[in-house]
Structure formats: structure tokens, C-alpha cells
């Protein structure tokens, strides 16, 4: 159901559209099929059959250039509910060369359909001899037709034929014409040897009616220039070139050009065709005189015109080291751009900075006027009275033909001593720093220094580490020593253990000395061995027999073979001590050796 409605709507819309998508007709036409080379052709494209006019592209022909267009007009009529609409698009074309030229079809796209006009052929005859282009005219894509005809000319009007060097020479260009629609400047005159200032261009110049040589003209001043000669002698102002669009009658031949302007037809509004014409002025010669030497002031700097100089200062009371602003303004008429101010003559204690120069030029009036402002910044480096002398400015006035001098007023400035606090703040220095500023750096060291390898420091020096680690070891050693000494003094078991070996050695020594006395030798040997073991193991000194020693050694897990040997020796000593009889020297020596050996072995395990 919905689908059906949708189709219905689409169908209605397309049907409505179709009813309007009628066939349109496009036609192209030219006003003439045979023209001269200097004629202008009107090319018209007409569209009929729709009020929704499509765009019409410009004709593309190699034989023609477009002078103007497109201009469009449309016409819509509704008669008895029937609408008829037409549109005309026009271009003005100028032929580029003689012969048979064609304008190719113009393609128009309307509702995705392409319509074409018929191609048009135009026969272009060569231009008549009277309208040959002036030789040397610029070869523009649309070569304008140059005329020097007396009905249209440009006149260069110089105010004077003799001027002084640097004097303002006013040149105005006047267009004399009878029927010109528009003009456009092509080239300003070359004025070699002149400095040129332009007055603003007036797009709608005032038109006067004048009669010259019995012919009525319209006269318009289209350009004004101010020329300042920079050299002397005969100087030439070259022609100025403009192009004009001249109104010409339709269907008329150029051969009638000379007399149609006088025709009554001329005022007819039917004159709607135009022609582009190049117009150039005559060259003008000017004589430039050197400025008179007589009466030339010393301060003259080349300025020509009429000027006034003024001076201004921002304050008449200042402090040392503070900046002053001094302004000179030269204003008047003349070539402002070349004005140079003479050098200032200031005392040596004044620091003068490069001036900022500002020029303003007014070209709105009848002649070039303007002003140049010099702004100097100066700083006084000492206190007291500062005299700024008057500044004379000389110029040559061409009006009076005399040199004149305008003088800027001088000033007397009071310079107070620098405020100390201010100076310190201003420069950012303290007082003692200022006194330092004047002094020079201290002298170099001339003795050979103690060289050091780059990148090494004392912290990587061998001696530093050696000394300090030795000292550290010494301290640690002392601490250990004190701990040992204290323990030896207070802990008897530790002391006995520590001294056991020495005491055993003492007994062995005693036994060696007692050789021969058997009881004493055996007793000493017994004390050496059993005393040593008792001291090392912390056993009581008295009442200790071989059995107790054997048990204690077994507790220490001493090698059983060694225990057996110790036991044997101790038992033997026990028995022999109380048996009568002598002991031989070698026997006692063997005994001592054995005991020494046992002690040596024992000290390693207990």
C-alpha cells in the first residue's frame, strides 16, 4: 500500500516535470557577415522555449577576440495562459586578421541535454589605408586601433617650458574628444632626468566644452604629474598612452569615419557600437637651468621650493645621562623626498643618536606639498647649561628666483647633575660597582702552576687513599688490641687458653735444664703436657689425672690415636715419677721431643 503511494507520488512528480521539459531552441547570429578588419561585430545567441535559462558559454573563435560582453536581455510573455520566454546573450567581437573567419558552434547544456548553435562564417576585408596602426604601438592581444585624428587627441600641458633644477614642473594631460565612452591609461610618460610625483587619478574628471580651431570638443584633465628635474639641459617628457572606447554608429563603414562625427546621426541613441582606440600625447621638451651660484648660502643643501623649518624639544630641564628628544620639521611645497637636514652642531659632551626621519607627502592639492620630520635623541654626559644653537635651513625659491633661509629656534637646556639614586637604579649598579667599572682587570699569573691532569682529582689519588686506609686499619687494630687485652685481664679461662702454649714451653724448657734429676724431669714433663691440655680445655689445674684428661679429649672428639698416645705418655710419666732410678740424657730428650710433638699436634685440634 505504502509502496503504491510512493510510486504514485513519483509518477506525478515526473509527469509534472516532463510537462515542463519542453524542447528549447538556440540560435546564433551576427549583425553582419562581411566586415572590415577594423570593424566590430555583434554576436548574439538567442534561447527560446523556457523561462529557466541555461548558462551560455562565450564563443571561442581564433579569428575574433571579445571586446565586451556578455550582455544579456530576456523577454517573458504570457498570452492566454501560454508562456513564451526568450533570452538574448550578446558579445562584441573584433576580428584579428583578414580573410574568411568562422565562429564555431556554442554548446548549451539544458536539463542534461546538449544544444548547439549553427556555425557562422564571417568575411573580413583588410582595413582601409586611413586607419593603419601607428608604428611602434604595443602589440597587445587586442591590437587597439590607433588614431591621431583631430576628433580625439591627448595633449600634454606643461606649466613652464623653462625650469630650475629641482623645481616643481606641473604636467597635466588633457583629453580632447567628441564621443568617448571610457578610457584607461596604458602607460605613464617616461620622464628621464626627472623625479616624478603623481597626483591622485580622478576617475570621473570634470568635462568642459571647448572650441578649438573651430571644432567643438569636450575636454577632460585625466592625469596630473609633478616632475622635479634632477639634471640640467634639454629634457624630454615622453608621450603618455591611453586607450579609449569610442562610440561608433552601427552598420557604418570606417571609410565614413571622418565625417560621421559631424552627422546629426551622432546624437542618436542608436549609437551603441564602440571601438577601442589608442591615443598618445606628443612628446614635450623642457629646458632645465642650473641653480644660480650667486647668493648661495653656506647651509644650502639642494632644496628647491618654499619651506619653513621649526624646532621642538620635549623639555628644557633635564638631568645628566637622561635622554632628550629634539625635533625639526621642514614643511612646505617642493620635492620633500630629497630634503636633507644639515648636521647638528652640538657640544662634545652630548651623545647624539641617529635621527629617525619621517616624510609625509601631500599630493591632493595643486602642487606637491609635505613635511619631513627629523627626531634626534640626545643624552648629555655632563651637567650644566646645554646650548642647542639655532639651525638654519636654506633653499632656492623658484618663485622669487632667490635663495632663502628659514631658521629653527635654538634652545638653552639646564642639565642638573645625575641623581645618584636614580643613576644607580637606571644602570643597575651600586656605588662601589661604579667605581669598579673604571678599573682594569688584575694581571696574569706568571709562575708555572702545579699542573693537574684534566679529569683527575685528589679523590682518585693513590696516596690519599693509601694514607687514609692505613689510618683506618690502625684504628681498627687498636680497637682489637684493647678488646684482647681486656679479655686477657678479666677472663681467666681465656687467659689460660691464650697462655697455655707459652706455659707448656716454659715447663719443657725447665725439664731440659733439669736433665739427670729423673723425678724433676718427669714432673716438669707431666706439667707441660697435662697443664697444656687443662689450660686449653679450661679444666681445673689440680687433682687431674690421665683418666680425666682422656675423657675431656674424647669430648672434644680428638683423633683416638692421638688420645691413646697422650694417655700412654701421661701414664708412663705417672709411673716413672715415683720409681727410683736414673734417667739417661737421651731418654729425657726423647721424652721432651715426644711431648713437644704432641703439643704441636694438640694445639691444632683443641
Partner 1 sequence: MKLRIIWGLILGLLLTVNSLAKGSADFYFQKGNESYLTENYADAIQQYESVLANGFESSELYYNLGNAYYKIGRLGKSILNYERALKRSPKDKNIQFNLRLANLRVKDRIDIPPEFFLFRWHRALVQAFSISGWAWLMTLIFLVTCGLVVIQLVLNPVKLQRYLRRAAITGLVISALVLGLLLERQHLENSHSYAIILSPSTQSLAAPQSGSTELFIVHEGTKVRVLDRDVDWLKVELIDGKQGWITTRDLEII
Per-position DSSP letters for 121-169, written without gaps between them: EEEEEPPPGGGPPPTT----SS-PEE---TTSEEEEEES-SEEETT--E
User: Residue 431 interacts with partner 1 (CB under 8 A)?
Assistant: no
Least separation, in Å, of the C-beta of 484 and partner 1? Answer: 11
Angle between the 492-513 and 585-605 helix axes, to the nearest 10 degrees?
Answer: 160
| Among 76-84, 257-265, 434-442, 540-548, the segment contacting partner 1 (CB under 8 A) | 434-442
Which grid coordinates belong to 576? Answer: 716413672
Least separation, in Å, of the C-beta of 495 and partner 1? Answer: 17
Which grid coordinates belong to 499? Answer: 697462655
Nearer to partner 1, 491 or 568 (CB): 491
Nearer to partner 1, 19 or 452 (CB): 452
What lies within 8 Å, CB to CB, of 26 at 6+ separation is 45, 46, 47, 48, 106, 108, 115, 116, 117
Among candidate residues 131, 246, 252, the one with its CA nearest the CA of residue 179: 246
**Helix intervals (H) in 333-430:** 420-427
Least separation, in Å, of the C-beta of 67 and partner 1? Answer: 53
Nearer to partner 1, 209 or 490 (CB): 490
**33 alpha carbon, distance to own chain's centre:** 63
C-alpha 546/C-alpha 560 separation (Å) is 14
Nearer to partner 1, 78 or 485 (CB): 485
| Among 128-136, 181-189, 259-267, 472-480, the segment contacting partner 1 (CB under 8 A) | 472-480
Nearer to partner 1, 2 or 446 (CB): 446
Nearer to partner 1, 402 or 430 (CB): 430
Contact 164, 398 (CB under 8 A): yes
| One of 433, 559, 564, 597 touching partner 1 (CB under 8 A) | 433
Least separation, in Å, of the C-beta of 440 and partner 1? Answer: 8
Residue with grid cell 637646556, as numbered in its chain:
413
Q: 41-48 and 113-116: which strand pairing?
A: unpaired
Least separation, in Å, of the C-beta of 467 and partner 1? Answer: 6
Least separation, in Å, of the C-beta of 499 and partner 1? Answer: 20
Least separation, in Å, of the C-beta of 417 and partner 1? Answer: 23
Least separation, in Å, of the C-beta of 466 and partner 1? Answer: 10
Nearer to partner 1, 16 or 464 (CB): 464
Least separation, in Å, of the C-beta of 158 and partner 1? Answer: 56
| Among 30-38, 80-88, 273-281, 427-435, the segment contacting partner 1 (CB under 8 A) | 427-435
Least separation, in Å, of the C-beta of 492 and partner 1? Answer: 20
Least separation, in Å, of the C-beta of 455 and partner 1? Answer: 8
Beta-carbon-side half-sphere exposure of residue 421 (alpha carbons within 13 Å): 0
| One of 10, 12, 159, 467 touching partner 1 (CB under 8 A) | 467
Residue 311 exposed, middle or buried by CB count within 10 Å (0-12, 13-18, 19+)? middle
**Helix intervals (H) in 156-314:** 257-260
Nearer to partner 1, 255 or 469 (CB): 469
Least separation, in Å, of the C-beta of 473 and partner 1? Answer: 10
List the x/- string, 436-465, binding to partner 1 by CB under 8 A: xx-x-xxxxxxxxxxxxxx--xxx----x-
Q: Facing residues of 318 across strands?
A: 415
Nearer to partner 1, 81 or 449 (CB): 449
- Number of residues near partner 1 (by CB under 8 A): 34
**403 alpha carbon, distance to own chain's centre:** 50
Among candidate residues 143, 144, 140, 160, the one with its CA nearest the CA of residue 152: 144
Nearer to partner 1, 118 or 433 (CB): 433
| One of 316, 475, 603, 605 touching partner 1 (CB under 8 A) | 475
Least separation, in Å, of the C-beta of 380 and partner 1? Answer: 23
Angle between the 546-555 and 518-537 helix axes, to the nearest 10 degrees?
Answer: 30
Per-position DSSP letters for 538-595, written without gaps between them: T--SSS--HHHHHHHHHHTT--HHHHHHHHHHHHHHHHHHTS-S---HHHHHHHHHHH
List the x/- string, 479-518, binding to partner 1 by CB under 8 A: x-xx--x---------------------------------
Least separation, in Å, of the C-beta of 566 and partner 1? Answer: 39
Which grid coordinates belong to 277? Answer: 582606440
| One of 81, 135, 136, 428 touching partner 1 (CB under 8 A) | 428
Nearer to partner 1, 451 or 578 (CB): 451
Per-position DSSP letters for 196-223, written without gaps between them: EEEPPP-SSPPEEEEEETTEEEEEEEEE
Nearer to partner 1, 436 or 605 (CB): 436
Contact 278, 137 (CB under 8 A): yes
Nearer to partner 1, 109 or 480 (CB): 480
Nearer to partner 1, 343 or 459 (CB): 459
Contact 584, 544 (CB under 8 A): no
Least separation, in Å, of the C-beta of 327 and partner 1? Answer: 30
Q: Count how many residues are written for the chain.
A: 606
Nearer to partner 1, 17 or 468 (CB): 468
| Among 22-30, 216-224, 477-485, 542-550, the segment contacting partner 1 (CB under 8 A) | 477-485
Among candidate residues 159, 163, 160, 161, the one with its CA nearest the CA of residue 291: 163
C-alpha 562/C-alpha 560 separation (Å) is 5
Interacting residue ranges for partner 1, rule: CB under 8 A: 428-429, 433, 436-437, 439, 441-454, 457-459, 464, 467-468, 471, 474-475, 478-479, 481-482, 485
Amino acid at each position: 500500500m505504502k509502496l503504491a503511494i510512493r510510486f504514485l507520488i513519483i509518477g506525478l512528480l515526473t509527469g509534472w516535470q516532463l510537462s515542463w521539459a519542453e524542447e528549447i531552441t538556440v540560435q546564433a547570429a551576427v549583425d553582419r557577415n562581411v566586415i572590415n578588419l577594423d570593424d566590430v561585430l555583434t554576436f548574439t545567441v538567442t534561447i527560446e522555449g523556457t523561462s529557466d535559462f541555461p548558462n551560455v558559454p562565450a564563443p571561442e573563435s581564433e579569428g575574433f577576440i571579445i571586446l565586451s560582453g556578455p550582455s544579456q536581455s530576456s523577454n517573458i510573455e504570457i498570452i492566454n495562459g501560454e508562456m513564451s520566454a526568450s533570452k538574448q546573450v550578446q558579445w562584441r567581437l573584433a576580428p584579428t586578421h583578414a580573410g574568411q573567419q568562422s565562429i564555431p558552434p556554442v554548446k548549451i547544456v539544458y536539463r542534461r541535454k546538449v544544444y548547439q548553435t549553427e556555425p557562422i562564417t564571417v568575411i573580413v576585408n583588410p582595413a582601409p589605408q586611413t586607419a593603419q596602426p601607428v608604428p611602434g604601438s604595443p602589440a597587445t592581444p587586442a591590437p587597439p586601433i590607433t588614431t591621431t585624428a583631430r576628433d580625439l587627441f591627448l595633449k600634454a600641458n606643461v606649466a613652464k617650458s623653462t625650469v630650475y633644477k629641482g623645481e616643481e614642473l606641473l604636467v597635466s594631460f588633457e583629453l580632447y574628444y567628441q564621443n568617448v565612452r571610457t578610457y584607461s591609461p596604458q602607460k605613464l610618460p617616461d620622464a628621464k632626468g626627472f623625479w616624478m610625483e603623481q597626483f591622485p587619478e580622478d576617475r570621473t574628471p570634470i568635462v568642459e566644452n571647448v572650441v578649438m580651431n573651430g571644432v567643438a570638443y569636450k575636454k577632460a584633465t585625466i592625469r596630473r604629474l609633478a616632475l622635479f628635474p634632477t639634471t640640467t639641459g634639454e629634457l624630454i617628457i615622453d608621450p603618455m598612452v591611453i586607450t579609449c572606447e569610442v562610440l561608433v554608429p552601427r552598420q557604418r563603414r570606417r571609410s565614413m569615419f571622418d565625417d560621421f562625427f559631424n552627422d546629426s546621426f551622432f546624437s542618436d541613441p542608436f549609437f551603441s557600437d564602440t571601438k577601442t582606440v589608442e591615443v598618445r600625447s606628443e612628446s614635450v621638451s623642457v629646458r632645465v637651468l642650473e641653480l644660480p651660484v650667486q647668493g648661495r648660502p653656506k647651509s644650502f643643501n639642494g632644496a628647491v621650493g618654499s619651506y619653513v623649518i621649526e624646532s621642538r624639544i620635549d623639555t628644557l630641564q633635564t638631568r645628566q645621562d637622561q635622554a632628550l628628544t629634539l625635533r625639526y620639521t621642514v614643511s612646505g611645497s617642493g620635492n620633500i623626498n630629497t630634503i636633507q637636514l644639515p648636521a647638528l652642531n652640538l657640544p662634545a659632551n652630548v651623545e647624539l643618536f641617529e635621527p629617525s626621519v619621517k616624510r609625509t607627502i601631500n599630493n591632493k592639492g595643486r602642487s606637491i606639498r609635505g613635511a619631513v620630520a627629523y627626531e634626534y635623541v640626545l643624552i648629555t654626559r655632563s651637567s650644566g647649561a646645554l646650548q642647542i644653537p639655532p639651525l638654519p635651513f636654506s633653499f632656492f625659491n623658484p618663485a622669487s628666483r632667490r635663495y632663502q633661509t628659514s631658521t629653527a629656534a635654538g634652545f638653552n637646556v639646564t642639565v642638573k647633575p645625575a641623581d645618584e639614586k636614580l643613576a644607580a637604579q637606571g644602570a643597575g649598579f651600586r656605588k662601589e660597582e661604579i667605581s669598579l667599572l673604571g678599573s682594569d682587570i688584575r694581571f696574569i699569573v706568571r709562575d708555572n702552576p702545579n699542573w693537574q691532569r684534566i679529569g683527575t682529582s685528589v679523590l682518585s689519588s693513590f696516596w690519599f687513599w693509601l694514607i687514609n686506609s692505613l689510618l683506618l686499619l690502625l684504628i681498627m687494630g687498636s680497637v682489637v688490641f684493647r678488646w684482647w687485652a681486656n679479655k686477657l685481664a678479666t677472663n681467666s679461662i681465656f687467659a689460660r687458653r691464650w697462655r697455655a702454649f707459652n706455659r707448656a714451653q716454659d715447663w719443657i724448657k725447665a725439664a731440659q735444664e733439669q736433665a739427670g734429676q729423673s723425678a724433676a724431669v718427669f714432673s716438669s714433663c707431666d706439667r707441660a703436657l697435662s697443664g697444656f691440655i687443662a689450660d686449653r680445655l679450661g679444666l681445673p689445674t689440680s687433682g687431674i689425672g690421665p683418666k680425666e684428661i682422656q675423657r675431656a679429649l674424647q669430648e672434644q672428639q680428638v683423633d683416638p690415636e692421638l688420645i691413646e698416645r697422650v694417655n700412654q705418655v701421661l701414664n708412663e710419666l705417672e709411673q716413672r715419677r715415683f720409681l727410683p732410678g736414673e734417667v739417661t740424657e737421651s731418654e729425657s730428650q726423647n721424652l721432651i721431643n715426644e711431648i713437644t710433638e704432641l703439643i704441636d699436634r694438640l694445639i691444632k685440634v683443641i
